[in-house]
Amino acid sequence: MLDTFFNIEIMKAAWPILLAGLGNTLLLSATVVPLGLLGGLILALLARLRSPWVRWPLMAWVDFFRAFPPLVLLIFLYAGLPFIGLELGGFGCVAIAFFLNTGAYYGEILRAGIDSVPSGQSEAARSTGLSATQTMAWVILPQAVRNVLPDLMSNTLEVVKLTALGSVVAMPELLFQARQAQSLTYNPTPIVVAALIYFALLWPLVRLLSRLENRALRTG
Amino acid sequence: MAAPIIEARAIHKHFGALHVLKGVDLQVAERELVFVIGPSGSGKSTLLRCLNRLETPASGSVVVDGIDLLARATDINRARQRIGMVFQSFNLYPHMTALGNVTLALRKVAGKTAAEAEALGLAALDRVGLRDRAGHTPGQLSGGQAQRVAIARAIALEPRVMLFDEPTSALDPELVGSVLAVMRELRQDGMTMVVVSHEMGFARAAADRVVFMDDGQIVEQGAPAAIFEAPQEARTRAFIGQIQRH
Ligand SMILES: Nc1ncnc2c1ncn2[C@@H]1O[C@H](COP(=O)(O)OP(=O)(O)O)[C@@H](O)[C@H]1O
Ligand SMILES: [Mg+2]
């Protein structure tokens, strides 16, 4: 049993491979989280425009990418884009897929955050001569983000977990590396270790999140 | 009367089917303090908000300190620096300190350096008696203090006129005095002020003119004594009678 799932020799052998995978997972997360946030911010800001020419396409866009399974989207980009002459590679496809998929989620969260800031805030800011953009940047967004911080963090957790999808387009992230090591050693130990690494990576975030959520419950 | 510093003419404003301002004219002279009273929903706030274009009238003209607020070419953000506004619910930025609230527009709009803004911000807080609260966040201030910080935020930009929309209505009675005291000082310093409020005592003591609005129109205006003691219009009499009973 221990030899199968916790084989020390295999752990030693697989460790450098897994570590490289962890590095890539972190790099990938550090790329797709800001990209998703950027996409979300763009969507949330567009959502403030009242024009039906923006409103309807925007809603369709958000609905589409929230309903589209990210795995399918990723494979579609990876397998489909070369047919129109676009070879983006695994990393590029992952980046675009996350920008589209998680951007839609971050966008909905940020929109709710912006809506939660009372209109008096922007009126006060505008009355002192701040432009609409300055008001958004200095008055509305900081409060909006604070109001939806637990949701933003929880989505970020999901995004980090979803980086494992990169393995299907041969991105050498943690899961991909673990499976490589597993197939080289004919032993599931690398997968177990990868699971533990994911846990060690995400558990502090989960703790922080539940503390934030408890605080939000207490302060209403 | 010298050329008015606020000159609103024939203002009409609609919210959907609701005709909220029905041809309002309001001229305010430099250094004048004008009180606007009237029943809830009569359009007082909307009129005030037309004076810094937080609301855009459907027709009419609004000229403040020589700037035509409704002209296309007008840089409204520049114009608004000259028009301070104070709101019933304070609307302080909760994520900033009192000083941060006061310095934001100084830095971002008036183009002051951080050091200049801080000096001007502290001076403004000093004028409202709250220099020692500079580092407090709005949540740590009483309502009266919060409203005085909001006044400091407006006067820090050295506006030519100040608009007050029920500045004491959200305050506990014992805190009203501190805000009125600051307003009285502004008045003594020669600030032009338009005040929507039902603080009759303050109006009697400080106002040059009282304007009574009802149903989107100015029904009657005159010196405080004339409006409060000898109103000419039935609607004014009814309203004055009503608020004096409270
Ligand atoms: N943004 C708005 N949208 C729709 N109706 C409004 C809006 N602001 C004010 N109103 C309506 O316009 C009328 C006048 O409002 P307001 O100027 O706030 O009156 P007052 O300040 O005298 O109480 C009211 O009937 C109010 O409900
Ligand atoms: Mg009002």
Reported as a single tens digit per residue, the pLDDT across A98-118 is 889 999 999 999 999 999 999
Ligand 1 contact via B103 beta carbon (within 6 Å): no
Structure tokens of B49?
């908000």
- What would the mean pLDDT of A176-195 be, rounded to a whole number? 86
Residues 6+ apart with CB under 8 A from A81: A87, A88, A93
**Phi (first) and psi of residue A120, to 5 degrees:** -60, -30
Check pLDDT > 80 for residue B19: yes
Q: What is the pLDDT of residue B2?
A: 66
For atom 8 of ligand 1, which residue has the closest CA?
A: B46
Which residue from B minimizes the CA distance to A120? B91
Query: In a mutational test of the pocket of ligand 1, which residue from B13, B14, B18 has the highest number of ligand atoms less than 8 Å from its CB?
Result: B18
Q: Cα angle at A160 between A155 and A165, to 5 degrees?
A: 115
Give the residue, by CA position, lying nearest to ligand 1 atom 16.
Answer: B43
Q: Do B81 and A146 touch (CB under 8 A)?
A: no
SS3 B146: helix
Looking at residue A129, its pLDDT comes to: 97
Residue B47 has pLDDT above 70, yes or no: yes
The structure's pTM equals 0.89
Question: B165 forms bridges with which residues in the sheet?
Answer: B196
Task: Examine the pLDDT at B74 and tell me if it is beyond 60.
Answer: yes
Helix (H) or strand (E) holding A126: helix A119-127
ipTM over 0.90: yes
Confidence (pLDDT) at A46: 93
For residue range B132-173, what is the model confidence (pLDDT) as tens digits?
999 999 999 999 999 999 999 999 999 999 999 999 999 999
Least confident of A40-49, A50-59, B182-191, B223-232: A50-59
What is the pLDDT at residue A219? Answer: 66
Percent of chain B at pLDDT exceeding 70 = 99
User: Which alpha helices (H) appear in B53-155, and where do they start and end?
Assistant: 76-81, 98-108, 114-127, 143-155
Helices vs. strands in chain B: H and E counts, helices first: 9, 10
Exposure on the CB side of residue B54, measured as CA atoms within 13 A:
25
Domains identified in chain A and CATH numbers: 2-219 (1.10.3720.10)
CB of residue B147 inside a 6 A radius of ligand 1: no
Give the Cβ contact number of residue B26 at 10 Å.
22
